[in-house]
């Protein structure tokens, strides 16, 4: 990944967990814990991501351990796959690097009453129509325009704002994490540039690893959990992976600039300036939290509007309303966010700020924040893979609360940098290779497909196996891609 390999200590805790002891670096307040297995361990050492796990352990108020998931790879400040909880009562801090540039990047999954046999003859036309109608690519604007007042309401209210516009249903809200809304969002904390970048980008896919996929359920691993989720073998689903677009990126950029001198101001010693942070109850901390929540609300609206456009395309191609096609949201989870949650830490019940960067919430059965329909099975967890292999649905397990502040992995995790992936793909037609695997792919550029080629990622099945065996989340169903659109 273009960074030096990791040579620090990795002590085996069990078959699915390795420890970086806090003695590794003077200043670590807690150990680092990485969830992985023997098979993925060698890949894990290929960049400096484990060192970033150790660096996060320096943050004031950090609880229990600095954690990382099996899809770990190098990121800005925190590794991708990094998790940490800080306690405001113990001088806990908030760190934008622990949320990431794409605030509330996340995944939603929609099912249908169509099966593979129904869609196969129309697949190419369907993918072409999706590509034509769902805006993709860098800086691309969409069909939904919001004036200043409307954008303010959208940022404050999240998905619920779209209910009043006829662009969401009560069921869509019910099956979105946090009901698509974080309280305490303050649009006035966003810069004019952030607002300008978001004004016409709600309902657009963006670029990089973002996608809309038509998928077929190829295997059910747990019938009991699949049933309330409405999943059946050979059923067609639609998966959407996108975030807060230019608006969220700008919020992060603005925060990093504003927090550059905060560690010095508050006497915080850090091994990496990319971990810039501020005490949660400081003016700087409160400003970032209010802006981050607004960007999170924007991202939920973005995925909602992309889903609405996909529904309309299916209705046009199959000549039936999306309601008749039963294109209902299964769930939407975010994986770049910080949230104030209640957890038991070393026997004490505490409210802590859980940073999840490239990591997914995975609350266990009976948790009050899970929709009633799913409470018996646990919170749905949606794990995208790569364009050529598979994606997964899991459900949260009790082990996540015991070990990871209710968290699991978020995807396959990169195995190659974008530059290396493009170099590797030189002279090849990734779209033709995917077609040979039965996947119709459409993208704004060949470079975009090259950056995201299957070889650029770890095998998602290996990553999912670790969180399943570690008791963080349980396998329910696997979906294989048959059509994909990208920026």
DSSP string, 360-373: EE-PPTT-TTS-GG
**Lookup: tokens for 409:** 């992995």
Q: Are 247 and 298 in contact (CB under 8 A)?
A: yes
Q: How confident is the model at residue 3 (pLDDT cuts 50, 70, 90)?
A: low
Q: Is the pLDDT of residue 2 over 70?
A: no
pLDDT at 54: 98
For the CA atoms of 280, 282, 283, 289, the dihedral, rounded to the nearest 10 degrees, stands at 0
Active-site pick, 179, 210, 410, 468:
410
Tokens of 249: 């990126």
| 4 found inside a domain | no
Domain membership flag for residue 5: no
363 lies in a domain? yes
What CATH number does residue 198 fall under? 3.90.1860.10
Residue 129 falls inside a structural domain: yes
> CA 216 to CA 481: how far, in whole Å?
7
Q: What is the mean pLDDT of residues 316-325?
A: 98
Q: What Rg value do the Cα atoms of the chain yield, rounded?
A: 21
pLDDT on residue 207: 85
Q: Is 3 inside any structural domain? A: no
* Contact indicator for 276, 262 with CB cutoff of 8 Å: yes
pLDDT of residue 206: 87
The pLDDT tens digits for 76-116 are: 999 999 999 999 999 999 999 999 999 999 999 999 999 99
- Asked if 155 and 290 touch (Cβ cutoff 8 Å), the reply is no
Q: Where are the alpha helices (DSSP H) in 86-122?
A: 116-119
Residue 332 belongs to domain spanning: 11-486
Alpha-helical (H) ranges within 184-259 are 192-198, 223-229, 245-258
pLDDT at residue 140 above 80? no
In the residue annotation, 335 being an active-site residue is answered as no
Q: What's the domain count of the chain?
A: 1
């Amino acid at each position: 990944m273009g960074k030096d390999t990791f040579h620090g200590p990795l002590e085996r805790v069990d078959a699915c967990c390795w420890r970086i002891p806090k003695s590794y670096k003077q200043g670590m307040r807690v150990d680092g814990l990485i969830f992985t297995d023997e098979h993925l361990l060698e890949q894990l050492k290929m960049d400096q991501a484990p060192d970033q796990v150790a660096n996060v352990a320096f943050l004031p108020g950090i609880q229990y351990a600095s954690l990382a998931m099996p899809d770990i790879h190098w990121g800005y400040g925190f590794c991708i796959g990094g998790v940490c909880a800080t306690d405001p009562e113990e001088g806990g801090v908030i760190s934008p690097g622990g949320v990431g540039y794409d605030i509330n990047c996340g995944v939603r999954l929609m099912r249908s009453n169509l099966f593979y046999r129904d869609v196969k003859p129309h697949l190419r036309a369907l993918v072409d129509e999706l590509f034509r109608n769902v805006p993709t690519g860098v800086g691309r604007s969409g069909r939904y325009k919001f004036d200043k007042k409307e954008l303010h309401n959208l940022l404050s209210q999240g998905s619920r704002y779209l209910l009043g516009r006829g662009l969401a249903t009560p069921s869509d809200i019910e099956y979105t994490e946090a009901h698509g809304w974080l309280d305490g969002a303050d649009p006035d904390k966003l810069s004019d540039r952030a607002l300008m970048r978001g004004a016409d980008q709600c309902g657009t896919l963006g670029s990089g690893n973002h996608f809309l996929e038509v998928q077929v359920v190829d295997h059910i691993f747990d019938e009991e959990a699949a049933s309330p989720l409405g999943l059946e073998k050979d059923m067609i689903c639609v998966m959407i992976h996108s975030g807060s677009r230019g608006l969220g990126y700008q919020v992060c950029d603005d925060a990093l600039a504003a927090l550059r001198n905060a560690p010095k101001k508050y006497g915080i010693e850090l091994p990496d300036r990319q971990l810039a942070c501020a005490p949660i109850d400081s003016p700087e901390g409160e400003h970032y939290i209010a802006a981050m929540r607004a960007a999170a609300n924007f991202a939920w609206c973005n995925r909602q509007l992309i889903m609405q456009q996909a529904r309309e395309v299916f209705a046009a191609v199959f000549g039936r309303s999306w309601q008749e096609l039963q294109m209902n949201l299964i769930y939407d989870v975010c994986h770049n966010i910080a949230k104030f949650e209640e957890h038991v830490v070393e026997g004490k019940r505490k409210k802590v700020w859980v940073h999840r960067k490239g990591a997914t919430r995975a609350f266990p059965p009976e948790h009050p924040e899970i929709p009633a329909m799913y409470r018996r099975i646990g919170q749905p967890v949606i794990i995208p893979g790569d364009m050529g292999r598979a994606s997964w649905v899991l459900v949260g397990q009790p082990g996540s609360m015991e070990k990871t502040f209710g968290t699991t992995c978020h995807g396959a995790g990169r195995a190659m940098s974008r530059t290396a992936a493009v170099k590797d793909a030189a002279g090849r037609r990734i779209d033709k290779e995917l077609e040979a695997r039965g996947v119709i792919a459409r993208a704004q550029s060949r470079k975009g497909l090259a950056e995201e080629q299957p070889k650029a990622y770890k095998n998602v099945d290996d990553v999912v196996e670790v969180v399943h065996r570690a008791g963080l989340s349980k396998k329910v169903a696997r979906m294989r891609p048959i059509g994909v659109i990208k920026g």
